[in-house]
Structure 1
Amino acid sequence: MPRMNSDGKPFIIINHRAARAREAWVAVRAELERQHIRFDAHEAREPGDAQARARAAVRAGYRVIAVVGGDGTLSEVAAGFFALDERREPSALPLPINNEAALAVLPGGTGNDFARALQNGRASLAYWTGRLIAYLRSEEAATRAVDMLYGTLKADARSFICLNAATLGIGAEVAGRVAAQAGFLQRLPGETRFAVATLSALARWRNRRVRISVDDETFECETNLVAVVNSAYAGGGMMFSPEAEVDDGLLDVVTACDLNRVQVLRELTRIHSGGHLANPRVSVRRGRRVRIEN
């Protein structure tokens, strides 16, 4: 039986704000049409649009929601699979709208780290498009259940879902700078864009004392780098925790304690290979629940 809604179509969400996603969509659409795959599509043009459209599509009965975009758009659409818009206690885990709905990855972003983690390496857009078509035709039987990161911000009672990683300190600063890049920087490879953003973020480096709880363990340290990761890759190929798995039921919590600016720069040059973990001041803890206070 085809894995689509009652009208026989998947719903595809494209991050229209990203040039790479728009280019990727041209290729994806052409292949879908060549293969005579019917579909509905929406180009998300503002923050929150992709999540709202995904949620509406799941509630409308679509069984496959595909994403043409990067890790940010992918997480935004994944959040749309859950009833985050319904009133509930902030600490309660969100409920899925339809357990039978599936999320399809069509990488078209800067880093595409979650897709890389799923494959244990990079794969082309054509490969992912082919897998989507095979699944829609019931030629590929299996879906894969993966973990997600659900977080709440106590200060303003906001909640969020992401598939890849949540960072505090310099990690969040770098992510914000990458998102704000424009002009020729947007045309650079993802790892280069993240490197440029990292160098500028270092100028604002300042350690903060934080208290971190991972399940039943609590510790404190002076840091400006905390990463809660769900996969081996994040931030344009950075391997915060090389052993992280997307489906092991655990979050990897990476902290770099008591490092100065020079030491941070040194570790950032090694983070794409996981070499930063050789530094005894960098640690990884694993657990199901994480609490961070500053």
Structure 2
Amino acid sequence: MRQFTAVVNPTAGGATSAAALLEVARLLRAAGAGLETEYSRSLDHAREIARRAGERDRVVLAVGGDGTAGGIGGALSGTGAPLGLVPAGRGNDFARALGLPTAPAALAEVLLRGEPRPVDTIEVTSALHDRTVVLGSVYAGVDALANRHANHARLLRGTASYYSGALRAVAGWRATRYRVTVDGAEHTFSGYTTVAANSGYYGFNRRIAPSARVDDGLLDVVMIHQAPRRLFFALMNELGSGAHVRRPQVRVLRGREVRIEADRAVPYGADGEVEAVVPVTARVLPGALRVLC
């Protein structure tokens, strides 16, 4: 029977993390599995706990949102230690990309009996930020600014914080000249953002890269070019279905390594947590992580 260490982000979704784990934990223990719970003080602390648990041959459960999943998954990338997800954040986009169930009984069954599946991770490097590894995507532009606003929102939570953050970011955005290098080929354009996506989802169930797969050894590179604000808001609404990729203002490429540069200090993010500025390089690490799903 599997032995689990749950790493809980106590700030993800308020009391949601503890509540999400409570019922799943009861089902795991009832089935005879061992479970210990650790509460993280920070993302770095969560990574440390995860590494130690993996070294003891335990299945590490990331309890929280995409930032928690990305941080813990990144820490386990390349180690062979299996990861389980208990989605309890605002977006839970990587869990959605894996098709994980949300009902506690179904999720517990996956954790108890699911086979570890190799998935890709993303190595992120920049001159101003330490190397890190994440799971979902790296994005540089108006979306990173919107995510920063959402992370620092005090009065709004969930979907409302994302929409409010997006409105603030777009209202003050000015055209940015990007230079994006994909596997050595350079592409330049003026626009809103560049996303290097491993998962098809980001930003609370938005299908930024509908064709992205977490196990194909490639990143989908989505570049959104300059457009009138009214058209851009229409394009944002199409992120729910993925129809935006059919717009002439959107270009999608695929590659293993992506470098994003710009003519000013454009912010970038990774799985909702890393906050820095370009230039940044994202490189896929094929099959580097084993996830129960």
| TM-score tier (shorter) | 0.7 to 0.9
Cα deviation, residue 216, structure 1: 3.0
CA distance in 2, matches of 1:247, 1:256: 24
Shift of the 43–193 alpha-carbon distance from structure 1 to 2, 3 Å rule, reads same
Cα deviation, residue 65, structure 1: 0.7
Matched, 1:181 2:176: no
Matched, 1:76 2:44: no
CA distance in 2, matches of 1:113, 1:231: 8
Cα RMSD for the two superposed structures = 1.8
Identity %: 31
Matched, 1:167 2:139: yes
Report SS of the residue matched to 2:216: coil
CA distance in 1, matches of 2:175, 2:234: 16
Cα deviation, residue 192, structure 1: 4.0
- Picking from 20, 23, 30, the partner of 1:24 is 20
Maintained 8 Å contact 1:170/1:225:
yes
**Deviation sequence 1:174-232 (CA, Å, 0-9, x none):** 2222222334x22xxx4443223211221221221111011132111112211111112
- The residue aligned with 1:151 is 124
- The residue aligned with 1:64 is 59
- The residue aligned with 1:244 is 212
Cα deviation, residue 129, structure 1: 2.1
Maintained 8 Å contact 2:8/2:64:
yes
CA distance in 1, matches of 2:108, 2:64: 13
Shift of the 10–147 alpha-carbon distance from structure 1 to 2, 3 Å rule, reads same
Cα deviation, residue 149, structure 1: 1.1
Maintained 8 Å contact 2:66/2:89:
yes
Maintained 8 Å contact 2:5/2:35:
yes
- The residue aligned with 2:269 is none
Report SS of the residue matched to 1:219: strand
Report SS of the residue matched to 1:197: helix
Matched, 1:258 2:265: no
Matched, 1:10 2:7: no
Q: How many residues of Structure 1 are paired with residues of Structure 2 in the alignment?
A: 260
- The residue aligned with 2:198 is 230
Report SS of the residue matched to 2:19: helix
Letter in 1 for 2:24: V
Letter in 2 for 1:197: G
Letter in 2 for 1:162: V
Maintained 8 Å contact 1:171/1:227:
no
Per the normalisation by structure 1, the TM-score is 0.82
CA distance in 2, matches of 1:125, 1:172: 32
The worse-fitting range, judged by mean Cα deviation, of 230-239 and 33-42 is 33-42
Cα deviation, residue 30, structure 1: 2.7
Shift of the 182–27 alpha-carbon distance from structure 1 to 2, 3 Å rule, reads farther
CA distance in 2, matches of 1:171, 1:122: 27
CA distance in 2, matches of 1:196, 1:157: 27
- The residue aligned with 1:213 is 181
- The residue aligned with 1:93 is none
Report SS of the residue matched to 2:21: helix
Per the normalisation by structure 2, the TM-score is 0.83
- The residue aligned with 1:50 is 46
Structure 2's unaligned 5+ residue stretches are: 263-293
Shift of the 286–125 alpha-carbon distance from structure 1 to 2, 3 Å rule, reads farther
Maintained 8 Å contact 2:238/2:244:
yes
- Structure number with higher relative contact order (C-alpha < 8 Å, ≥ 6 residues apart): 2
Cα deviation, residue 24, structure 1: 1.1
Report SS of the residue matched to 2:240: coil
Cα deviation, residue 25, structure 1: 2.0
Shift of the 221–233 alpha-carbon distance from structure 1 to 2, 3 Å rule, reads same
Cα deviation, residue 49, structure 1: 1.5
Maintained 8 Å contact 1:53/1:80:
no
Pick the structure with greater CA Rg. 1
